[in-house]
Amino acid sequence: MDPIRIAVVGMGKIARDQHLPAIAGNRAFSLAATVSPRDSGIEGVPHLRSLDALLEEGPAIDAVALCTPPQVRYDLAAQALARGIHVFLEKPPGATLAEVHALSAQAERTGASLFASWHSRFAAGVAPARAWLAERRIDSVKVIWREDVRVWHPGQAWIWEPGGLGVFDPGINALSIITHILPRPFFLSEATLEIPENRAAPIAADLHFRDTRGAPIHMDLDWRQTGPQSWDVLVETDAGTLKLAHGGAVLTLPSETVRNEDHEYPGLYARFATLVTGGRSDVDVSPLTLVADAFLRGTRLTTEAFFD
Ligand code: NAP
């Protein structure tokens, strides 16, 4: 079968760090073009300044990976789907829930595949954690997601703007994990969002959820963490503690440890290839729904100004 000719749109940090190597490492894909308004692309691959230009001038493509900030993703995705081009959405899949639902319906109409990707779900420990928890009683869950925004998102103005999600940009990764591994649905009980006085999005959030049997889930998100960083999930069960660390790459169960740091983007592209060849889509908005609920129901506190 011919490889899927894919264009990477939005040549920023994640495109260069993860998408390009994952595409190069998967024979189901060939990198047909890159698109970015200011970036100059990579040697030997056609580069265009906009998706409009690519669709008008070529080269021909079968799929796009949209690695832009979420605020501009809907228009790009709708434009691609309208031409029957398959779409891989970086997380979060959109700036609003309604636009993702609209894309999902459009994909169904056009027959193109739409993949709302959640990279953390492809971390090595996540699938075995889900399998282990399926048979356990969940007593409580604690999520600690504390990182230094100056290290991980230097100068990214979009992340602090409406639709950029602030600390929920990494926090939604934790939500993508726990919505996948916990056996029952859960929902927000209360939340506090700390928003710097000069920004539109939170720098920290404290969230309390409970599942449909009442098990408490506490989430501590903070972007002001210097020194050691934490991307951990702890689940207390009737059979002992499950710990997912390093964003899901390291799983510790009472009986064993599973570890693999480079699992996520190769797994995402393998999944996208399966969706395209099978003529299917995969659009789960549950992590974005919980973030939207935090903005809907959370108490906002103004905190000191943040400067990069
Ligand atoms: P970034 O470094 O700011 O890159 C975003 C890129 O999008 C910019 O380089 C910009 O290109 C391009 N862009 C903006 N508007 C565009 C448009 N209309 N058409 C084409 N390109 C456009 O951001 P990032 O960190 O890579 O994050 C991008 C997305 O990936 C976010 O949704 C984020 O949540 C997700 N993500 C990020 C990470 C991470 O570790 N950084 C990890 C996983 C997922 P120019 O530079 O050419 O202007």
Nearest CA to ligand 1 atom 9: 12
> Pocket of ligand 1, candidates 68, 156, 168, 265: which has the most ligand atoms within 8 Å of its Cβ, to mutate?
68
Across the chain, which has 308 residues, the per-10-residue mean pLDDT values are 96 97 98 97 97 96 98 98 98 98 98 98 96 96 98 95 97 98 98 98 98 98 97 98 97 90 91 98 98 98 96
- Ligand 1 pocket test target in 67, 117, 177 with most atoms within 8 Å of CB: 67
Cα dihedral sign, 260-129-218-100: positive
Q: What is the CATH number of domain 4-119+265-283?
A: 3.40.50.720
User: Distance from the CA of 244 to the center of ligand 1, in angstroms?
Assistant: 27
Contact yes or no for 90/66 (Cβ under 8 A):
yes
- Residue 199 confidence (pLDDT): 97
* pLDDT at residue 258 in the model: 84
Minimal-distance CA residue to ligand 1 atom 39: 14
Largest interatomic CA distance in the chain: 60
- pLDDT computed for residue 103 by the predictor: 98
Report the residue among 11, 76, 119, 122 best suited for mutation to probe ligand 1: largest number of ligand atoms under 8 A from its CB. 11
Gap from CA of 265 to ligand 1 centroid (Å): 16
The binding-site residues of ligand 1, defined as CB within 6 angstroms of any ligand atom, are 9-15, 35-39, 67-70, 72, 90-91, 119, 156, 169
Which residue's structure tokens are 């580069």? 47
Smallest Cα–Cα separation from 202: which of 99, 288, 306?
A: 306
Q: Which residues are catalytic?
A: 91
What atom of ligand 1 comes closest to residue 14's alpha carbon? 26
Residue 242 alpha carbon to ligand 1 centre in Å: 33
CA dihedral 12→15→18→20, nearest 10 degrees, is: -130
- Nearest alpha carbon, ligand 1 atom 12: 10
CB contact at 8 A, 89 and 114: yes
CA 62 / ligand 1 centre spacing (Å): 21
Q: What is the pLDDT of residue 166?
A: 98
Closest CA to 232 of 123, 116, 119, 91: 123
Q: What is the pTM of this model?
A: 0.97
Q: Can you tell me the distance from the alpha carbon of 125 to that of 249, in angstroms, rounded to the nearest whole number? A: 5
Q: How far is the CA of 21 from the centre of ligand 1 (A)?
A: 16
- What confidence score (pLDDT) does residue 39 get? 96
Which CATH topology does 120-261+292-303 take? Dihydrodipicolinate Reductase; domain 2 (3.30.360)
Return the pLDDT at 259. 85
User: CA-to-CA distance for 68 and 55, rounded, in angstroms?
Assistant: 17
Q: Specify the residue with its C-alpha closest to ligand 1, atom 45.
A: 38
Residue-range domain boundaries for the chain: 4-119+265-283, 120-261+292-303
Name which residue sits closest to atom 14 of ligand 1, judged by CA. Answer: 68
- Distance (angstroms) between ligand 1 centre and the Cα of 19 equals 11
Q: Which residue has the tokens 């060849």?
A: 277
DSSP SS3 for 4 = strand
Round to whole Å and give the CA distance between 39 and 49.
8
Residue nearest to atom 43 of ligand 1 (CA): 14
